[in-house]
Amino acid sequence: MHDMTARVAAISGHKRSPNFLKHQRWYPTIYDLRHGSRRRLPHFAFEYGDGGAGADTGIRRNWDALDAIEMVPRYGVMPELPPVGVELFGRKYTAPIGVAPMGSPIVVWPGADKLFAAAAQRVGVPYTLGCAGGATIEEIAAIAPDVFWFQLYRFAKNDHAIGYDLVRRADAAGCHVLMLTLDVPVRTIRSREVKVGLGGGGAFKPDWRMVMGMVKCPGWAVAMMQNGQPRFANIQPYAGPNAGLNDTIRFARKEMGGAFSWDEVARYRDKWKKPMIVKGILHPADAERAVSLGIDGILVSNHGGRQIEALPAPIDCVPAVAKAVGGRATVLFDSGVRSGTDVARALALGANCVLAGKAFLWSLGALGSEGPGHAIDLFIDELQSALGQIGAHSPDEARDVMIRHPGAYDFGRNHP
């Protein structure tokens, strides 16, 4: 096992986490990290990170759609594990897998944003700081200067004064890619969050159940003592010089929201001179509209099933979006990714890169600060194995593999 791990590391070009083999014994897959996270996190923290909209049927649809995709291997063509390095937006990365933007991952594990950034920088994969994250643009730029992307929510008041200032800060800090979020047009209720005392009326008020959960999870409690209470680090300065957590929450609910209109996307495109992604695209016509405005990347996503249950699984929309884009923009995919095999499936359908969110939250719950690095290592190992198994010499060659995709969305028949 050690010889195989060393050989995989040499081929992939990245140095694995020092405790990879030890952690692999207990957590050999991403889904094992989920089970560990459930055991080791306070209940409210696990529910926040793991849950989605309604009864989680959107999350299950995302998983089921990925599981249904089959890839037909060709043998006699692959003597060893293939390299998985890629170029995205003019920069080279170790693998076509990255950390998706997440809102308040510090609720799941205090200090989460910085841990994600450090792990991504160490390995050389993209990390996207969420606008509602718990670390500032400037802090993340210092931790992950080579792999830092930034996701922006809509702040429309005062002619987008806050949004434009966040863009200015991201540019000044050296952020490589800006991501505009289109898939949160309205605020929705996530039942699992509400049931544990989160996602309610605009204030964070820990009850006795939360406190007991913290006490029973010493690793989480220590992380809280080291990092302080949750905060919206990038939004807090605009809420006022003395704004506390609940002041910032109320400010964000009032000032932040809605999906960017196409006119607004065009305005941000004019201001941001580096690569730009729009997040949340499912319809190929929207992808074509984005490309016409000079957008460099299309992230096919349904917000991980956290907004509404009735949306298609994004993986079922990837082929149509990739066909519509026709190589004029980079196609990215997220929502439901739990393995390197899922990454290979997305590549085979036309994606250039895959982002994961919940997988990295689970990694924190299971392994604390060492979790994100272990998750990245698992993704890369599994992706190499999957590509080698189907006879693809590189991520690009995955597109040449014969696939069966029963859930592929037929936009020719299903839209006017």
CA 265/CA 263 separation, integer angstroms: 5
How far from 373 is each of 8, 9, 267, 277, 354, CA to CA, in Å? 16, 14, 37, 25, 17
Cβ-based burial of 328 (10 A; exposed 0-12, middle 13-18, buried ≥19): middle
Ranges of H-type helices in 88-149:
112-123, 137-143
Say which of 14, 160, 283, 303 is annotated catalytic. Answer: 303
β strands within 61-120, DSSP E: 70-72, 86-88, 91-93, 97-99
Q: Which amino acid is at 51?
A: G
CB neighbours (10 Å) of residue 304? 23
Q: Two tokens at 321?
A: 């979006």
- Partners of 402 in beta bridges: 72
Cα–Cα distance for residue pair 66/341, rounded to 1 Å: 9
How many other C-beta atoms lie within 10 A of the C-beta of residue 240? 11
Q: Is 303 a catalytic residue?
A: yes
CA 57 to chain centre: 19
Are 102 and 138 in contact, with CB atoms under 8 Å apart? Answer: no
Q: Give the number of other Cβ atoms within 10 Å of residue 101's Cβ.
A: 27
* Cβ-contact 115, 363 below 8 angstroms: no
Distance (Å, rounded) from C-alpha 38 to C-alpha 348? 32
Tell me how crowded residue 22 is: count the other CB atoms within 10 A of its CB: 12
Strands, DSSP E only, in 182-250? Answer: none
DSSP structure string for 186-216? S----HHHHHTT-SSSS-----HHHHHHHHT
Separation between Cα atoms, residue 157 and residue 172, nearest integer Å: 23
Query: Which residues are annotated as catalytic?
Result: 303
